[in-house]
Each structure stands twice: as C-alpha cells, then as structure tokens.
Structure 1
C-alpha cells in the first residue's frame, strides 16, 4: 500500500514540479447542478441533487482534471466525493515524439478518489487519442489501491464531441469506467454521457452556459452485484 501511494505521489509531484517551468495551454472552471430521481444506493427515495465544481487544464507537460461533488440525497445527510487526476506526458518527459497513428501521446496517469471516510489511489498509463470530430478522447488503464474493498483494475474513457444544428451549439461528453471484480466486489461498468446545449451563446455570455441532460448507466454500482442504476438528470452547467 505504501509503495503504491508513493508512486501516485511521485506522479503528482512530477506534474507539479513540471508546471513551475512549463506553459499552460488552456484551462477551464465550471460549476454544475444536477437533479435526478432514480439514483441507487445513496438515497432511499432515488431523488438527489448534486453540485459539482470542476477544473481541467492542459500543459506542455500533460494535463489535470479535478472535480468535487456535493451530494444532497433526499432523506439522508449530504456528503461529498471528489477526484484529482493528473497525467504526465512521456513525450515531454523524454524529449521524444511518441505519437503514432491515432495516439498523440503516452502518459503516466494517476487518480486520487476521495470521499467521506475513504481514499483510493489509482496509477497506470494513459493515452491521448486523435479521433476525428472529437475535441478530446482519452483512455487510461489503472491499477487501483482501494481503502474499503480489494484492489482491482480499471479502464477509463473520456471524450467530448461538439456539433451544431443551425445556430445552436451542442456538446456530447462524458466518461466510461469499467473495473474488474474481486472477492469483495462485483465488476462495475459506469457509462455517463451528457448532452448539452450552449444557452450562453444566445444570452451574450463569453463562456458557455450549458443546459441539458446527464444519463447514468451503471451496472453493479459501488461493486454491489445486481444494483444497476438507470438515471436521467436535469443539468445546468456554467463555465467561467
């Protein structure tokens, strides 16, 4: 456990050290609100509101992604969940061009999952992919060191696909997490896309104000066999 956590700390430390002498290429902050009525496990009624703060940034050395959820379930106390995911590009680290075919870069990838009473560390390798039409398409392969259940493996995809219909701008983005099974939990698959319309464009805002839907298709939620979530939530997301 200590050796695994040190590896994640090394990934974070390299990212932070590199940022001191490298360029930031882009960054984005956002605050979003979700309201759904078919959540599993976290609330007895299925109803929950969520406030989410997100920050993403791209650098000459790699990229970072951070989000913190304030979960407000009906009939239960509020709680929080967050993730911090830095990736360090091996092209920048080695000085060599590692792009090949659809692969733009190969990266050292780490994620810190945090919540009330637990911390999980994930570490592995990531790939930044060049997929036509997509703003970004990322693939990460992790080994997860978990606090409350057995260690496992995880595959994570994330993507963003912008498109327009007439004068209206839309974005489909989201993620897919798949984790392996173990003695203490079932294999999970969480596919969560968002479909968003940029209302801010028509309100004179410089940054996007997205209105839309998030859909959660989660098999064996939290590793609980047979607890499958199929939940659509209303979404409001402000970028700044």
Structure 2
C-alpha cells in the first residue's frame, strides 16, 4: 500500500464518523437502468445493460456521493464498479464562511474507486460553485493512487441543471472526468451527460421517475490510446 492510501483511508473513516454525529441536511437514493449498444472494452459485442444504485447526502460537515454499478455485458459475465466520494467542508472546520462571489465552499475531497481486480484512492480539494440556474455545480482536483497503473492527476466536474417546458420537467446532469497521462496509460476524458424527463410527475408519484438518455463521450477509455467510446444508452431512473 502506498503512503497516500492510509491517509485517504483515515479521511474516509473520519468522514463516516462525522456523519454519525452531524445534522443531515438532505438525502437522496436512486436506482437506474441503462441499455446501450456501443460500449468499448468491456464487451466484444458493444451491448451492455447496467443497473446502478446511488446515494447522495448533504451534512453540516460536508457531503457524500456513492454509486455501485452492476455491469452486465451481452457477451461475457457480469461485474461491478463503484465509487464512494466524501467531501469535508473547510467552512465547517474553521467555523468561518469561505464563500465569495460564485464560490460557495472549499472542501477536502476524497474518492475510493473499487472494482474487480483494483482498488484506487483519490485525494485532493473540491469547490462548490454557485452557477445561475444550476441545482449544483462542483469541481474536484485529485491526485490518484492507483493499484494497477501509474498514479496520475484527475479533474472532475459534476452538475445538475433542471428546466421546464410547458408542463414537462427535465433534468440535464452529469459529469466530466479528465486524467493526466503516464508511462502506463494515456490521458483520458470522459464526458457523460444525462437528459431526463420526469414521467413520475404525470403518474401521480411523489418521487421522481425519469426517462431519458445517457451519452458517453470517452476518449482513451481506461487509459487505452485511441480506444474512444461514443455511446447513447436508454435510461430509466427512480428516486426514492
């Protein structure tokens, strides 16, 4: 284990301990289903179904995001991938407001990436931003400690933009990951937005039930030079 990994493990544990003794400001659970035909690397046929569990929460000390994918390729056995990403607010630690202009807060950021055969840990700094019209807009800068390839740096953006037309409610959200290159992998860029219509509103549901599309624009997928993915997948997502 690299020297950085115990530090991040301590951060993850301390974040969980803080969560047990802090006010929960908001919390969200969801299940989603994806069906696409042009995935790269994970399946020779390009076809794959994915079931994802997600949980996000905001606390008086910061926020957390967790997701676990069950990947079910058409031509090989299923596998899993997950991430747990807590962020610790520096404003809450210092009892002073760090907001200024579009900046809402500065946070210590960590991510634990887990999957079959690897266990990566990322640590760095995050920024919560006020962008007009957006429900949230976050920027994280990481140093990644990787199991099976060289360590690298990563930039992550995540956002959610709700909008309505007539009586229809939509949500445009997603993420962008960019990582630096190394001797063992090429630089990656994964831009994955989702455009979703809230069908639950018209079915009398209190919780959101979204129908829509996810589009993956991934250059050098998994750090493999010139292995680019352009995939649109049908999406069903239920919040509860």
Decide whether the 8 Å contact of 2:111 with 2:122 is kept in 1.
Answer: yes
How far apart are the structure 2 equivalents of 1:167 and 1:59?
33
Q: Which runs of 5+ in 1 are unaligned?
A: none
Counterparts of residues 137-152 of structure 1 (less than 5 Å): 137-152=137-152
Deviations 1:75-110 (A, max 9, x none): 110000000000000000111111111110000000
**What secondary structure does 2:3 align onto?**
helix
Identify which range, 6-15 or 34-43, moves more after superposition: 6-15
CA distance in 2, matches of 1:239, 1:227: 33
- Determine the structure 1 residue equivalent to 2:174: 174
Q: Which runs of 4+ in 1 moved over 6 A?
A: none
Moved more, 177-186 or 9-18: 9-18
Partner-residue secondary structure (3-state), 2:170: strand
Secondary structure class of the residue paired with 2:201: helix
Matched-pair contact (CA < 8 Å) for 2:31–2:53: yes
The answer to whether the Cα contact below 8 Å between 1:14 and 1:88 also exists between their aligned partners in 2 is: no
Query: Residue 71 of structure 1: SS of its match in structure 2?
Result: strand
CA distance in 1, matches of 2:21, 2:237: 32
Aligned to 2:88: 88
Tell me the TM-score normalised to structure 2 length: 0.99
1:103 maps to 103
- Taking the TM superposition and a 5 Å limit, the aligned residue runs for 1:213-232 are 213-232=213-232
In structure 2, what is the equivalent of residue 62 of structure 1? 62
Q: 2:77 matched to which residue of 1?
A: 77
Deviations 1:62-86 (A, max 9, x none): 0000000000001110000000000
1:184 match: 184
| Structure 1 partner of 2:211 | 211
Task: Name the CA distance, whole Å, in 2 between partners of 1:122 and 1:20.
Answer: 23
RMSD: 0.7
Residue number in structure 2 paired with 1:34: 34
What is the Cα deviation at residue 3 of structure 1? 2.4
Matching residue of 1:237: 237
- Residue 126 in 1 paired to residue 126 in 2? yes
Contact 1:11 1:87 in 2 (8 A): no
SS in 1 for 2:121: strand
CA distance in 2, matches of 1:18, 1:97: 19
- Normalising by structure 1, what TM-score? 0.99
- Three-state SS of the structure 1 residue aligned to 2:205 is coil
The Cα of 1:30 is off from its aligned counterpart by 0.4
What 5-or-longer segments of structure 2 have no aligned partner? none
